[in-house]
Amino acid sequence: MPDLFNKLTLDLQRAILPVFTTVQTLKELTDQCLAIDQGLRRIKARAKRYKARNPLNQTTGNTRTVRNAPARSATPTAPPIQPAANSAASRAASPTTGPANTRPTYSNPRI
């Protein structure tokens, strides 16, 4: 029985593992393997048909396709430069003194 188990595909091994310890004979193991294999083939055929009908929706299982997502940059971006804590610009842009939509101003023209 262990020899047959080792010759099964990984999907079939995963599916048969819960009943592997309960089967007593090689015949029981082969019957279980045949039944599970037929079920797995039906599931794969259904997934293939679904994928053929919905070519834009390539999801399987728990994964989801994210549409209209912004492209990710290959280079990391540097964090924004913060002004010194005692500068007038940082006091003007602090959330306690100004409206939330106020953009901070900086004395350095390159920033």
For residue 12, give both structure tokens: 């079939």
Mean pLDDT of 13-37: 88
Note the pLDDT of residue 12: 87
Stated pTM of the model: 0.43
Sign of CA dihedral 31, 33, 36, 38: negative
Alpha-carbon distance of 13 to 82, in angstroms, equals 56
Higher-pLDDT residue of 77 and 102 is 102
